[in-house]
Chain A
Amino acid sequence: MSLFNVFNISGSAMSAQSQRLNTVASNLANADSATSANGKPYKAKQVVFSAMPSNSPDANAVKVDRVVEDASPPKIVYDPKHPLADKNGYVTMPNVNVTEEMVNMISASRSYQNNVETMNAAKTMLLKTLTIGN
């Protein structure tokens, strides 16, 4: 029954999008973390989606393929009073681009909503199917 597979597909997309939202939250929360467990400033993380085979040969579900570290250079801020400032008074801050992350957040949230609606529509259709002949 192909309509049941819609639940798997949309469900996989929802969990992938929520993981994306999770990294956005992590990036925003750590936008000012000048140091971390390894002593270096926090690095922004981004998820990479990839299509994944589902029960049906033609329709693909989604998975988070991997989480990569953002390769953009860190922000260098002049703040001589900062305890982590180097001898010239510069502090290396995380490479989190807050504007970009906010946009990412909106996009993830919209995609999540889209998949919820897809799932709801499939549910309505299945329930209607159960009433055949009534």
Chain B
Amino acid sequence: MINKLDSFLSFQQSALRVRGQRQELIAANIANADTPNYKAKDVEFGDAMKSAMNGGNSLKVSVAKTSDRHLDGTNGNNENAPGDPKFRKDTQGNVDGNTVDMDVERNQFADNGIRYEASLNMISGQVKEMLAAIQSNS
């Protein structure tokens, strides 16, 4: 029973998680708008969502590191999974090698935020649905 509740909510839960991660990436792009040689990154939402649904890389387990030079412990077999962050295509080159286009980033940030809230509303709706089902006999 609890299992079914869990799977009922799991789709929107993954959606929220991927949206949250994407929001974080875009925030990092905006933060690094003046960093020389920084390359803007973004995830393809569809691919990231797919790999999150397959229990993919979204829940990365990190390895304890005792030195900055140790490698990150990603699961070795899908180093370049389709849902991983990719560099944004450079449209207008910058003298300092930075590829952050503030218009694009702000746009995507707002868009992603709205979609996050849409997922929130849907998950709220699902919770209400479940509550209604539970309480219908009383």
Q: Please list the residues of chain A having a beta carbon within 8 angstroms of any beta carbon in chain B.
A: 1-3, 5-6, 9-10, 12-13, 17, 20, 48-51, 54, 56-62, 107-108, 111, 114-115, 118, 121-122, 124-125, 128-129, 131-134
Contact = CB atoms under 8 A, between A and B. Distances in A.
B35 interface: yes
B127 interface: yes
Interface residues of B, number: 37
B23 A133 contact: no
Given A1-B20, A2-B23, A132-B127, A125 B30 contact: no
Contacts of A128: 117, 120
Contacts of B28: 9, 54, 58-61
Contacts of B21: 2, 56, 58
A68 B20 CA distance: 37
Q: Give chain A's interface secondary structure class.
A: helix
B62 interface: yes
Given A51-B38, A58-B85, A133-B124, A111 B33 contact: yes
A66 to B, nearest CB: 12
B127 A133 contact: yes
A114 B106 CA distance: 9
A59 B33 contact: no
B41 A9 contact: no
A57 B62 contact: yes
Contact of A60 (B16, B32, B127): B32
13 contacts: A1-B20, A20-B34, A51-B35, A58-B25, A59-B25, A114-B33, A114-B102, A118-B30, A118-B31, A121-B109, A122-B27, A131-B124, A132-B123
